[in-house]
Amino acid sequence: METLTPEENLLAQVARATCFAVRFQAGEVPDSDVRLYVDELIALYRRKPDGTLSGTGSEEPGTVASAVQFCAEQLQHVAPEQASKLRLALSGNR
């Protein structure tokens, strides 16, 4: 497992929160924010796919790969194009 910098960890956590929020508050979260965080999360995934997230609040720490998967699932119905980009990144890095 790779260690993320505090900035990378923050980026991954904000991306997860944005993906979660857009599912319930689609009109409140700008599409540009969703695109930005999807692109940033994909870039982070390409650099550190096994990077460990800190402070996720779960018993087992998440990884950047699990954050990408989570966002793809959350965006599946509300932003399918962005969900597809995330799934494509996952399939391309294995």
Domain enclosing residue 31, as ranges: 2-92
CB atoms inside a 10 Å sphere around CB 10: 12
Alpha carbon 20 to chain centroid, angstroms:
10
What per-residue confidence (pLDDT) applies to 84?
97
Amino acid found at 28: E
- As a whole-number percent, the residues of the chain with pLDDT over 70 amount to 89
Query: Tens digit of pLDDT for each residue in 40-72?
Result: 999 999 999 999 998 655 555 689 999 999 999
Give the confidence band of 30 by pLDDT, cuts at 50, 70, 90.
Answer: confident
Q: Count how many domains the chain has.
A: 1
pLDDT of residue 55: 67
Q: What is the DSSP code (8-state) at residue 77?
A: T
pTM, full prediction = 0.88
